[in-house]
Structure 1
């Protein structure tokens, strides 16, 4: 098939100017790849729960700002509120222990107890079998069936799952299709709703001595599950919410009675639940983070488009006389305009090749870095293709329209004489290009360094608490807790162990533990900790007065307070607080949580050593890894039928700042791409400048100009505009990073050296890129340059 003449000319032009074309294609491809990646992420994040049949009628019930509701709520409102068509309740644990067919002890994720109506309401298909009808049956996902039963039929097979303190044989009654990657709920196992009572023992164990004896999860006072309701098609959510308020007084807790019920649309759960408490069961997105990443991708796209526009214009400048000849031979202005537009779009389409590579490599990177479910399956969504086509056409057409319109208006005489440069003010274009390029580059570099600096400060700068070289072991059964004294004694014998102590909560930890200290009608709430003897010393908490926790006595109310609590309530060692609680000691304020939170008045309670949930082991700096290995061997020996989790306290701290670490990784990746784009854009600009000054360079060389003088001449113009870009970027970067640091209660300073370092990096990159090409031009034989004229 014969190609149209315009297409032939475009292809010939691309091949003739290989270096400029390759720079244009790679530069635009990298930029488009970044934009495609984050647009795909945006589309994916906004597609959650859209697969649910009649999703507009399905809601989750929220109490105040808490996701947890009571067991009887769902069945009661279905019976009493006509607009409620159906409901389901779900209670989920993050991990369960189970034994496979070979009796090997394993851990798996996301075990849920739910009503059988969950499948119909969420549109989850049963592949074979049926839903659980009793507490002895369980339904599993297809992936779990393949994992544990391979090619066997899992129906009626037994799974040994640890529920509470013992393993239970649960019969597999059904297999359902895996929940989609864009589902907020995603359990791998679904048991009968009444199984949830047995799982509550894990929660009771953490509280140990302070566990309430009342534990009837089926009453109106226990908020342990999430409730979803499907309304009738004609129901008005506002009226249903109004009806729900009648159930507030079913609980006996006066503080909970005042909390209003409201309905959260199921399609809002993923992106709009970060402000909700106890949202444990669902995947969570972050809409502000999405906007943040879209801004970064837009900055990268601006660099790529500016690159592309400038390089396209540079290519036109090189073939300006060819266009003039075409126009002199009868080509119309519209023909020239179409030619430039076609060539621009053709280059944009070819740039999809490197863009595809960025997307293929970037999807797994984003998935792992951001802990998202993004995969290549996002291309099954029609929005992905619309976004791809629009971005390519807009980019290619923007450059073509901008340049083609101006070139087509110039007369053939001026084109043949090479007057395009003056007509479209080349120098202003180039200067603007450099300023935009390096302003964005400096912004990204300052962002990476500042965020990393704050993270290092938050992870290692905890105030008045020593978190280094501490290993935490979970005593996840009553049997292990009862053996605490023996375990303590044996672990102390391990070489490298310096201190051992038990606790229920080991700071710094994520959640707040509210402790109400009441005497009669007078009640005061503190931020709380529950520790064993020796834990205050192990963590290096500094006593201002008094002493730490001693031997446990069931009938004594002896407490240790922090200095904030002492100042607020005028506490003295030896005094009785609130008529019932002896102040045993006062410790200096310390960071019990992340640096996002201010230090609050705190009380430290003592735990019964026979009911401790956690064991902390302090090691020497050089023995940390070997001690953890020996701890794992020790627990495997004394508890072969249990999985005792051991981890570094520093790992627990690092989890506080997982979001910020994600941001550093993403910004670092985009900064690297920005460096590549800056180099490529600057390289194209330098090549164009050298081409236009080839006669001047040749004449200067003939007249005795030295190589370093020509290099200096070419470098001076470029570096001046990089310096201006740095001046523009600094106040913008300062404002943005200062706003970001407001997320932290304790933060590092915005140091001047961060900005200087970013500026030096930008200057060095520009200097190196320009100097290499300048040196090549300055050392070329001047006769070769003058031949072109």
Structure 2
């Protein structure tokens, strides 16, 4: 039998069994789409920084677990170690405010400071002009140039950038090509490294009365930059490191003196830095999550293949005589196997249509959910096309071989007689696979419900601190900070405002400020909070002893309960030159992931406040926001007014968990769709085998509900078995997940019960629809069925 005849037979078979073929194609397409999508994500995430021409020789310097190093390190290494060809230092900030060519105030991202050698080391081409040579020059990306200057030549144009709460005029000296989407560093602006002192001043201005000067930031004792070294091709990293260890003693920082230098290959940074302290704004990968996603995608593909096999076997039950006749007429096993393989691979190829839809819809979903940069550029990587070819061919071939061998093992007599393919043992194995389907679904649903419950608890149950109806406004200009008192006086006149207070940070927040004090001749670290008078009362933080700050006095200090107990502190005592004014109950200054640590609360100078908190009744918040924005604009026109709520700030703690909910929900939906398809295939298979039995029962007076009950009973007991299997697994997994939280919910039985009921309901509905159709069929037709 030649290929053209096999092709015609395969097309005819697909068209004659439209419903089962469509279900097979959709189910397999969903599985293929998932494995394509998540595999492409895996390839993309592992391709970061592979664009760099000399990537095998470019390293980032680490010291212990710290990624930031001192200013002189790079230049000293290059000058004293001949094995190093080049270097650059890098720091990337977060948001920046600037004025465009039309003098409009806008906010942009990815503002970086670097040496000019960055472009040579990374292989980034400068399209126009040159890299910034002084602190009043700025180099911008091609997309940034188009965004701000459109058709105007940007060279020598002026950008006014807000640094240290004042606008600096920076001249555009160059335009560079955009960094690739798979680059860990991704700046829109690159300034001269010396300009960073202005940025340091901006971030440290609010700590003036408690910090040391940063004027000597170019010394060995300030660790502000990532340092990259380009080694020559013949050098060994070990030889460079051996010489570098002598630089540890150049700092007075005792901790740094104990930490060895290390070199991290540039292509390893993105996915192999989870245990490092990285404090600059760059793209970061999550290798653990990536592995989990890949495993999940393979499970979904496995389920899809199993479903496809069952559905195809159900379809093949109607063609046993055809195969028997072919075998009796001399067709070889190889010939029949070819026909089944061709049909299977045809379905696999056709499944690329729904798979493509899954990928198209999945790209924006994955990027938004995981904050990735996955795009069509991933198809420029040859492994992507190899993956596409292998998955399609292997999936179609494995499925075809399983079905083909099942058929060819039977004799031509058995096939002509129409003896079914399923034995009792195979039936038990088939139903056990159904249990795995629904067990996976139950585990996923349990995960979604548990995570949602924990997040609701974390976002609404802050320990000993009230977060509701608190509006926060950034005082992001010198005028706003200096007029803090007059601003609060005016805002308190707005209807709906209960009280106001200023602060450097407002808890709960994501920033850890570590403050050191001497205790028994040793320096000890406290979790720090700098705030103004009235803030503790506004947040309803309760005092155990003493009282809140009054008018500003630098030498007043407040501790939390943990600090007081650990260091035996009393109200009225003097601690490191500060008078202990009060002791407050422990409260969560950060997220529920961490335990409350010993905390010190210092008083912030009224003119150095960076944030203003407004406690409201909750009835007039929109009007309060509007009036605040208008009032701020009057005082400081050149400011972007940032207003948000404390509850919004708290939600940012759990962004990762919110992403997990979205992902698990999506996989739960796919799992139940595939489970329904698998169940449908099994039901069709069962009904095919029991068609005559159903007809005989109907003739003998069986009611429709009795036949439906008979058909449902076999399947529902396997769903119950799925729940029994899933319950301990889901309990163990969620208990491990909750271990990430210091303050957490108790696992509730109703979550597991609800997941089981949902699975049972879906199975009951799916089976009942098909059972009803079989039970209401004319018994005469059933008895004639062969």
TM-score scaled by structure 2?
A: 0.97
- Residues 421-478 of structure 1, C-alpha deviation per residue, up to 9 Å, x if partnerless? 3558442243123112111111111111111111112222211011112122121222
The count of aligned residue pairs is: 785
Please tell me whether the aligned partners of residues 91 and 280 of structure 2 are also in contact (alpha carbons under 8 angstroms).
no
Residue number in structure 1 paired with 2:562: 564
Partner-residue secondary structure (3-state), 1:356: helix
Query: How far 1:240 sits from its partner (Å)?
Result: 1.5
Please tell me whether the aligned partners of residues 270 and 282 of structure 1 are also in contact (alpha carbons under 8 angstroms).
no
1:765 counterpart = 2:762: yes
* CA distance in structure 1 between the aligned counterparts of 2:472 and 2:67, rounded to whole angstroms: 30
Residue number in structure 2 paired with 1:183: 183
Please tell me whether the aligned partners of residues 480 and 632 of structure 2 are also in contact (alpha carbons under 8 angstroms).
no
Residue number in structure 2 paired with 1:63: 63
Q: 1:717 to 1:247 in 2, by over 3 A?
A: same
- 2:578 equivalent among 573, 581, 603: 581
1:595 counterpart = 2:595: no
- 1:703 equivalent among 693, 700, 705: 700
- Residues 245-298 of structure 1, C-alpha deviation per residue, up to 9 Å, x if partnerless? 111111122232222221111111111222222331321010011112122222
Q: What are the residue-to-residue correspondences of 1:48-127 with 2, within 5 Å?
A: 48-127=48-127
Stretch of structure 1 that moved more, 378-387 or 255-264:
255-264
Residue number in structure 2 paired with 1:15: 15
Query: How far 1:710 sits from its partner (Å)?
Result: 0.7
Partner-residue secondary structure (3-state), 1:94: coil
- Residues 109-140 of structure 1, C-alpha deviation per residue, up to 9 Å, x if partnerless? 11111111000101101112222222222111
Residue number in structure 1 paired with 2:284: 284
Query: How far 1:170 sits from its partner (Å)?
Result: 1.6
* CA distance in structure 2 between the aligned counterparts of 1:736 and 1:288, rounded to whole angstroms: 15
* CA distance in structure 2 between the aligned counterparts of 1:172 and 1:487, rounded to whole angstroms: 37
Q: Cα RMSD between the aligned structures?
A: 1.6
Q: What are the residue-to-residue correspondences of 1:678-693 with 2, within 5 Å?
A: 678-693=675-690
1:269 counterpart = 2:259: no
* CA distance in structure 2 between the aligned counterparts of 1:167 and 1:594, rounded to whole angstroms: 35
- 1:647 equivalent among 640, 644, 647: 644
* CA distance in structure 1 between the aligned counterparts of 2:101 and 2:14, rounded to whole angstroms: 63
Q: What are the residue-to-residue correspondences of 1:724-735 with 2, within 5 Å?
A: 724-735=721-732
Please tell me whether the aligned partners of residues 28 and 308 of structure 2 are also in contact (alpha carbons under 8 angstroms).
yes
Partner-residue secondary structure (3-state), 1:657: helix
Query: How far 1:701 sits from its partner (Å)?
Result: 1.0
1:627 counterpart = 2:624: yes
Query: How far 1:768 sits from its partner (Å)?
Result: 0.5
* CA distance in structure 1 between the aligned counterparts of 2:622 and 2:779, rounded to whole angstroms: 66
Query: How far 1:491 sits from its partner (Å)?
Result: 1.1
Residue number in structure 1 paired with 2:346: 346
Residue number in structure 2 paired with 1:744: 741
Please tell me whether the aligned partners of residues 501 and 613 of structure 2 are also in contact (alpha carbons under 8 angstroms).
yes
Q: 1:424 to 1:142 in 2, by over 3 A?
A: farther
* CA distance in structure 2 between the aligned counterparts of 1:505 and 1:256, rounded to whole angstroms: 28
Q: What are the residue-to-residue correspondences of 1:519-534 with 2, within 5 Å?
A: 521-534=521-534
1:756 counterpart = 2:750: no
Residue number in structure 1 paired with 2:317: 317
Residue number in structure 2 paired with 1:383: 383
Q: 1:153 to 1:424 in 2, by over 3 A?
A: farther
1:671 counterpart = 2:641: no
* CA distance in structure 1 between the aligned counterparts of 2:294 and 2:442, rounded to whole angstroms: 18
Stretch of structure 1 that moved more, 727-736 or 639-648:
639-648
Residue number in structure 1 paired with 2:215: 215
Stretch of structure 1 that moved more, 99-108 or 469-478:
469-478
Stretch of structure 1 that moved more, 30-39 or 779-788:
779-788
- Residues 703-745 of structure 1, C-alpha deviation per residue, up to 9 Å, x if partnerless? 1111111110110001011110111111111111111222111
- 1:774 equivalent among 751, 771, 775: 771
Q: What are the residue-to-residue correspondences of 1:314-713 with 2, within 5 Å?
A: 314-422=314-422, 425-518=425-518, 521-554=521-554, 557-578=555-576, 580-713=577-710
Partner-residue secondary structure (3-state), 1:169: strand
* CA distance in structure 1 between the aligned counterparts of 2:620 and 2:33, rounded to whole angstroms: 46
Query: How far 1:521 sits from its partner (Å)?
Result: 4.2
Q: 1:349 to 1:521 in 2, by over 3 A?
A: same
* CA distance in structure 2 between the aligned counterparts of 1:416 and 1:693, rounded to whole angstroms: 18
Q: 1:167 to 1:219 in 2, by over 3 A?
A: same
Residue number in structure 2 paired with 1:145: 145
Query: How far 1:186 sits from its partner (Å)?
Result: 0.5
* CA distance in structure 2 between the aligned counterparts of 1:130 and 1:655, rounded to whole angstroms: 39
Residue number in structure 2 paired with 1:156: 156
Partner-residue secondary structure (3-state), 1:6: helix
* CA distance in structure 2 between the aligned counterparts of 1:643 and 1:151, rounded to whole angstroms: 27
Structure 1: gaps (5+ residues): none
Residue number in structure 2 paired with 1:235: 235
* CA distance in structure 1 between the aligned counterparts of 2:570 and 2:164, rounded to whole angstroms: 42
* CA distance in structure 2 between the aligned counterparts of 1:464 and 1:357, rounded to whole angstroms: 49
Partner-residue secondary structure (3-state), 1:696: helix
* CA distance in structure 1 between the aligned counterparts of 2:774 and 2:406, rounded to whole angstroms: 30
* CA distance in structure 2 between the aligned counterparts of 1:311 and 1:741, rounded to whole angstroms: 39
Partner-residue secondary structure (3-state), 1:374: coil
Partner-residue secondary structure (3-state), 2:93: strand
Structure 2: gaps (5+ residues): none
Please tell me whether the aligned partners of residues 484 and 609 of structure 1 are also in contact (alpha carbons under 8 angstroms).
yes
- Residues 72-121 of structure 1, C-alpha deviation per residue, up to 9 Å, x if partnerless? 11111110111111100112221211111221111111111111100010
* CA distance in structure 2 between the aligned counterparts of 1:298 and 1:127, rounded to whole angstroms: 44
Q: 1:84 to 1:302 in 2, by over 3 A?
A: same
Query: How far 1:490 sits from its partner (Å)?
Result: 0.9
Please tell me whether the aligned partners of residues 314 and 684 of structure 2 are also in contact (alpha carbons under 8 angstroms).
no
Structure 1 segments (4+ residues) deviating >4 Å: 422-426, 519-522
Please tell me whether the aligned partners of residues 508 and 591 of structure 2 are also in contact (alpha carbons under 8 angstroms).
yes
Q: What are the residue-to-residue correspondences of 1:21-40 with 2, within 5 Å?
A: 21-40=21-40
* CA distance in structure 1 between the aligned counterparts of 2:186 and 2:732, rounded to whole angstroms: 40
Partner-residue secondary structure (3-state), 2:529: strand
